[in-house]
Amino acid sequence: MLCEIAGKPLILHTMERAKSAKLVDRVIVATDSQEIFDVVVAAGGEAMMTSQDHQSGSDRIAEVAEAMPAESIIINVQGDEPLISPDTIDAAVQALIDDPNADISTASEPITSLRDDVLNFNVVKVVVGENGYALYFSRSPIPFPREASLKHGGPNEAIEAEPELLDNFRKHTGIYVYRREYLLEFTTMKPSRLEQIEMLEQLRAMENGAKIRVIHSNERSVAVDTLEDLERVEAILSSGRL
């Protein structure tokens, strides 16, 4: 969170992107790090110290949300998303407002690279049903291109031979939008089996019957999970290609 990108710590880029969203009234950096807290406050942002015992980002956000007004909409933008589009944030918020049946809303975006996205287990893939709700999230390539794989000798060879197969994949953007009351309920649920296998907290919600509305965004983001990701984001920001 404190690695410098284009002259400022990564967390400040993410904070500024969230502040630029039109439907966001307040941006709080929830952290258990005094160093991150100090950096955010020194930059004029708002930060809150939270417990070090949280197992997921939503658990940490829920600690802060407890003090928020009833029926608030709580947006969890993961701190490692310095390129997340404010338009994507707004669209995800609006989706929850518009859908009283949804418990959570989130976003997906196009996948354009076999190596950087499809085969990268740090990039989470999402499959969405015809009704716009998530069917599953995975670090594995889903949906699996069976016929093309049989034809070309494997999924990697199939995508290399037929690049249009990339259109079947969607990357999950690092944002969750909750109604405050559902968030507080969600974080009382025990970590689920699939969540622990894939290390994806949204699977806990799905295993407990949650409906997750997924908006399709054409904006692209890069979550910073590795040094290579950091270098990609640095190159993008330095080039001004946002």
Please count the CA atoms within 13 angstroms of the CA of 73 that sit on its side-chain side.
24
What is the secondary structure of the chain as a DSSP string?
---EETTEEHHHHHHHHHHT-TT-S--EEEES-HHHHHHHHHTT-EEEE--TT-SSHHHHHHHHHTTSPTT-EEEEE-TT-TT--HHHHHHHHHHHHH-TT-SEEEEEEE---IIIIIT-TTS-EEEE-TTSBEEEEESS--S--HHHHHHHTSHHHHHHH-GGGGGG-EEEEEEEEEEHHHHHHHTTSPPPHHHHHHT-THHHHHHTT--EEEEE---------SHHHHHHHHHHHHHT--
What is the secondary structure of 30-76 as a DSSP string?
EES-HHHHHHHHHTT-EEEE--TT-SSHHHHHHHHHTTSPTT-EEEE
The pLDDT assigned to 128 comes to 97
For the chain, the average pLDDT equals 93
CATH number at residue 30: 3.90.550.10
pLDDT score of 233 more than 70:
yes
**CA distances in angstroms from 16 to 13, 96, 104, listed in the order given:** 5, 22, 23
List pLDDT tens digits, range 111-140.
989 988 999 999 999 999 999 999 999 999
Average pLDDT over residues 65-78: 95
List pLDDT tens digits, range 136-161.
999 999 999 999 999 999 999 999 99
The pLDDT assigned to 54 comes to 87
The pLDDT assigned to 242 comes to 55
The structure tokens 């939270």 sit at 50
**Domain span holding position 125:** 4-239
Write down the pTM of the prediction: 0.90
pLDDT score of 206 more than 70:
yes
The pLDDT assigned to 236 comes to 81
Count how many domains the chain has: 1
pLDDT score of 23 more than 60:
yes
pLDDT score of 240 more than 80:
no
